[in-house]
Amino acid sequence: MRIVIGSDHAGFPLKSSIVEHIKSLGHEVMDVGSYDPNPVDFPDVAKNVTASIIAGTAERGLLVCGTGVGASIAANKVKGIRAAVCHDVHSAHQSVEHDDVNVMCIGAQIVGAWLATDLVDAYLKAEFSKDEDFRRRVRKLAEMDDQR
């Protein structure tokens, strides 16, 4: 799977260990910044991550910022993106299985490298359920996108 990842300055230190872990799983990683610990605005990084998903050059995205919240808000402004903050393994897989999430947001100030690895594993292994209830709900989310 091709994964796009981005971080702001708060998420930058954690991002490198996440990138290495994803590569060790055999996935391709596109890192769209930031590339150093200097301050950067998370909405700009979210635009880079979401643009790759919308363009089809990546199947899923990861955003790492201080809490994951700002990145999630920014990503969800983009039509076709379903982003979720995940700080527990259950949410990391269920967000994909039930809500077809295509961007997982992690708070580097909330989780450490070990938990981040578990979150990434759960997120990348999860598949969107074929259950019609979940499919119907995600279609309704797409309809909401069209009403903007």
What residues are annotated to the active site? 65, 98
Instruction: With beta carbons less than 8 A apart as the criterion, state whether 62 and 11 touch.
Output: no
Report which residue type is found at 79.
K
User: Would you mind telling me the total number of residues written for the chain in this entry?
Assistant: 148
Q: Are strands 83-85 and 2-7 parallel, antiparallel or unpaired?
A: unpaired
Plot region of 28 (φ>0 → left; ψ -120 to 50 → alpha; else → beta): beta
Q: Are strands 28-31 and 2-7 parallel, antiparallel or unpaired?
A: parallel
Of 38, 29, 30, 50, the residue nearest 11 (C-alpha): 38
In degrees rounded to 5, what are phi and psi of residue 100? 50, 40
